[in-house]
Amino acid sequence: MTAAFLVASAFLASAVEFVEALTIVLAAGITRGWRSSLAGLAAATVALAAIVAVLGPALTLIPISALRLVVGGLLLAFGLQWLRKAILRASGYKPLHDEEAIFAQETAEARAAGREERAGLDWYGFTLSFKGVLLEGLEVAFIVLTFGSAQGSIALAALGAGIALALVAIVGVLVRAPLARVPENTMKFAVGVMLTTFGIFWSTEGAGAHWPGDDASLPVVLGFVVALSFASVATLRRRRLAFA
């Protein structure tokens, strides 16, 4: 149960980030040339692999209770950011994330930028793609390493991220357009819920407290966070309509 939950969480969180990275790589490729864009993608992938290769084994050396305390606190702070934005979007206080609009903006900016050649590559296209993939990828690396190390299985979390990467890459190559049909706002909501759930669970255990039923209480915490999120959306929607 916990393993399936771990893989599903890593998959969802990674898929959202990979969809965003794909939009940037596509924008750079279409406007500035595929060679520079794919070189940026490759360089960022190598940098991310190096970060994971160094940090992954280092994290396994930290005692599990200390790791869960730190990871739980980080995930909770990070997860509440996602959840708060998702609740604000769902209740109409924040515009929905629109991959097509972001793609249009990225391509307009890329077309307007001047051309500078370095190492035989269009430098704007390379750095746009590199930065986009590195920043989105760092979020994936953070989630995989924290989820995996706190649950004692980086491999399982990496499996979820790997499936997401393969899926987004295959669809991206086939479609060659931003994946606007992916229900990104719903997925972001789900990721916020899962990050917050794991954050509550691990920070409590890391602080020395024990959940009644141990791991079996994880679905209960999940239900609690889901109920809290829907109640928040309903309250904010009512308030917005009352003041409209």
Partner 1 sequence: MRRVRAFGRFWWNFVVGDDPRAAAGIVIAIGLTAALVAGGLDAWWLMPVAVVCVLALSLHRETRGA
Instruction: Between 169 and 207, name the residue whose CB sits nearer to partner 1.
Output: 207
66: three-class secondary structure by DSSP: helix
Q: Supply the minimum distance, in Å, between the C-beta of residue 94 and partner 1.
A: 8
230 is a site residue for partner 1 (CB under 8 A): no
CA torsion 227→233→236→240, rounded to 10°? Answer: -150
Amino acid at 155: A
Q: Supply the minimum distance, in Å, between the C-beta of residue 95 and partner 1.
A: 13
Q: Which two tokens stand for residue 135?
A: 């920043």
What binding mask, one character per residue, do residues 131-160 give for partner 1 by CB under 8 A, x or -?
-------xx--x------------------
Question: What is Dmax (Cα atoms) for the chain?
Answer: 61
Instruction: Between 73 and 219, name the residue whose CB sits nearer to partner 1.
Output: 73
To the nearest 10 degrees (0 to 180), the angle between helices 64-90 and 123-151 is: 120
- Distance in angstroms (rounded) separating the CA atoms of residues 187 and 12: 7
Listed as own residue / partner, the contacts of 162-165 with beta carbons closer than 8 Å and 24 or more positions apart are 163/7, 163/11, 164/10, 164/11, 164/12, 164/14, 164/15, 164/18, 165/14, 165/18
123 is a site residue for partner 1 (CB under 8 A): no
43 is a site residue for partner 1 (CB under 8 A): no
- Distance in angstroms (rounded) separating the CA atoms of residues 69 and 63: 10
Q: Supply the minimum distance, in Å, between the C-beta of residue 167 and partner 1.
A: 25
Could you count the other beta carbons within 10 Å of the beta carbon of residue 172? 19
65 is a site residue for partner 1 (CB under 8 A): no
Among 38, 55, 93, 185, binds partner 1 (CB under 8 A): 93
67 is a site residue for partner 1 (CB under 8 A): no
Q: Supply the minimum distance, in Å, between the C-beta of residue 11 and partner 1.
A: 21
Q: Supply the minimum distance, in Å, between the C-beta of residue 24 and partner 1.
A: 17
Quickly list DSSP for 8-30: HHHHHHHHHHHHHHHHHHHHHHH
Burial of 125 per CB tally in 10 Å (0-12, 13-18, 19+) = buried
Instruction: Between 72 and 178, name the residue whose CB sits nearer to partner 1.
Output: 72
77 is a site residue for partner 1 (CB under 8 A): yes
What residues from 186 to 225 belong to the interface with partner 1 (CB under 8 A)? 196, 199-200, 203-204, 206-212, 221, 224-225
Footprint of partner 1 on this chain (CB under 8 A)?
69, 72-74, 76-78, 80-81, 83-84, 87-88, 93, 138-139, 142, 196, 199-200, 203-204, 206-212, 221, 224-225, 228, 232, 236, 239-240
